[in-house]
Chain A
């Protein structure tokens, strides 16, 4: 069933066109961050002045620092909660409320962010009001904590999907063998399961980190005065029009992602190779 030559050309052409569609906008963003012109879309030569402007832009740098803190915390929290949720769904096939649980885990993946943001905010405001009338101090005040809670909700959903698909791929016999040899459930988890799903935990962490670092809508609802994240700054500037400092931010992010993904995939491939070798050696008879 070898495809004919025109069919192959058509296939390659289609794929190339889609990849162009996906990547040309990113390329344009990067290129125009070096454009020495205040008129957008007109190339007037190379400059680094937008990067210099970026380095002294307190609003963006302050937002970036806050965003990084929130992203770190929400990635850590999402992986812990997501692993627990994925475990519940894979290991315990029957428990009270499993359908509700599974629905709640997956819903934030597709739920409109404006709805999630509004409802979480209204709940936190009610809580704040209740604590204010009871103790005189409103808790939680809008800021890092409330944004973190919102990002955790989305992060939990993504982390669960990533970890769950890995858990479903695992060979259950390995865990059963450990149990038969006398390992306690928590020992099975730390010594057998965790090393095997480690890679998926790492990708879940990275994914939820970038999702949090990028979020506009939830942060807009849940942020308070003085807690403006970087995407909120970028969003308000981008709404006004084209702005070369935004391009400069984009270039820095693209560069970081490229480096991060390259390093991560190299580390993951390396760990995978090592594990395959060890498993093969362990399985060898004699």
Chain B
């Protein structure tokens, strides 16, 4: 009487415990994350039919035929529209990452050196904008950078717009919106917290005795900073840069709201292929190439993330 119940209970805990915990999210991700990518890969290689892409495998006159179409990929490689958009995406993502690092590193460093009592409040202040709508914060720059907006007044008032013209960031003095300048401002503004948080995470854990040791051994503060602090915060620099760079490459909303005709990025190109041209194979091809572009930074990010999160053993 008792034995079957315990056996059932044993079976239940074993089945429930480990397999449900791993299995449910695993299966979920396989179905809703991995499978969709395989479908995109499939469609990127298929012929566009009248309404929808044809099947890769078809059954014609008793013969199973596999039709692969690589013309999408050769078009992406040759057509200047795609090439320009890919290059532009990489360029703006690079500048965004660099500026975030230049602004964010000193900021995270000073934050980690601030009095321990105020650090949680500072951290909270960095995270708080993250909780308010990203869309609305990007929209805010539309007002600030258009004529008579606060940022416009500041930049034009200080006479900085000819400098921006000379740098090729804006086409004419006084025109700040819908330019590479407004795009990069919006991207830096949006992604700065993603840079600051991992940097702060590594800098706050830094063992200060190492710096003291360096100074005791005669290193000047600047030398100690470059030879001790920066190398020890490498994990934070890499994680922050990847967290900014990778999503920047495929960014869609910011270029739509703040960018202009010169800032056509690849996310928009893919969007148009799908929504305007209704060309699913081409949209899929662009998406596949986009994934290939971020695969290397993605792998680096994942490695650093895994190293940082595994407990030291």
Contacts and interface: CB of A to CB of B under 8 A. Distances in A.
Interface of A: 1, 3, 11-12, 14-15, 18-19, 21-26, 28-29, 32, 40-42, 81-82, 84-85, 87-88, 91-92, 95, 97, 101-116, 118-120, 122-123, 126, 129, 149, 152-153, 156, 164-165, 168, 184-186, 206-207, 210, 213-214, 216-217, 231, 234-235, 238-239, 241-242, 246, 249-250, 253-254, 257, 260-261, 265
Contact of B137 (A26, A82, A85): A26
B146 A242 contact: yes
Contacts of B20: 84
Contacts of A115: 40, 250, 270, 287, 290-291
Contacts of A129: 52
Among B135, B193, B291, the one with the most A-chain Cβ atoms within 10 Å of its Cβ is B135
A32 B141 CA distance: 13
B273 to A, nearest CB: 9
Nearest to A209: B131
A106 B287 contact: no
A101 B29 contact: yes
A24 B147 CA distance: 17
B111 A41 contact: no
A41 B192 contact: no
B146 A235 contact: no
Contact of A14 (B17, B21, B106, B252): B106
Interface string B180-211: 00000000010011000000000000001001
B128 interface: yes
Contact of B135 (A106, A113, A235, A260): A235
Given A40-B146, A123-B35, 16 more contacts: A11-B113, A19-B125, A22-B126, A29-B143, A84-B22, A85-B25, A88-B22, A91-B21, A95-B22, A110-B301, A112-B246, A118-B270, A152-B32, A235-B253, A239-B256, A257-B132
Given A107-B33, A118-B283, A214-B135, A28 B253 contact: no
B290 A238 contact: no
Nearest to A30: B140
B143 A110 contact: no
Contacts of A26: 129, 132, 137, 140
A106 B257 contact: no
B36 interface: yes
B225 to A, nearest CB: 12
Interface string B107-130: 100110110000000101110110
Contacts of B43: 122
Contacts of B86: none
Contacts of B256: 235, 239
Contacts of A23: 129
A186 B22 contact: no
Nearest to B104: A18
Contact of A84 (B13, B25, B107, B125): B25
Contacts of B143: 28-29, 32, 40-41, 242
Contacts of A21: 103, 189, 192
A24 to B, nearest CB: 7
A247 to B, nearest CB: 8
A112 B294 contact: yes
B245 to A, nearest CB: 9
Interface stretch (B58-66, B162-170, B304-312): B304-312
Among B30, B140, B252, the one with the most A-chain Cβ atoms within 10 Å of its Cβ is B140
Interface residues of B, number: 91
A106 B29 CA distance: 11
A231 B137 CA distance: 12
A214 B190 CA distance: 13
Nearest to B149: A41
B99 to A, nearest CB: 11
B34 A104 contact: yes
Contacts of A110: 242-243, 246-247, 294, 298, 301
A250 B18 contact: no
A221 to B, nearest CB: 8
A168 to B, nearest CB: 6
Contact of A15 (B111, B144, B242, B283): B111
Given A14-B106, A107-B298, A238 B270 contact: no
A277 B29 CA distance: 40
A32 to B, nearest CB: 6
Contacts of A109: 243
A263 to B, nearest CB: 13
A252 B302 CA distance: 37
A271 to B, nearest CB: 16
A123 B150 CA distance: 45
B212 A92 contact: no
B24 A112 contact: no
19 contacts: A11-B114, A15-B107, A22-B189, A22-B193, A25-B140, A28-B150, A29-B139, A110-B246, A111-B291, A112-B247, A115-B290, A118-B284, A119-B287, A129-B52, A185-B13, A234-B135, A235-B135, A250-B136, A253-B136
Interface in B264-313: 267, 270-271, 274, 280, 283-284, 287, 290-291, 294, 298, 301-302, 305-306, 309, 311
A133 B155 CA distance: 61
A264 to B, nearest CB: 10
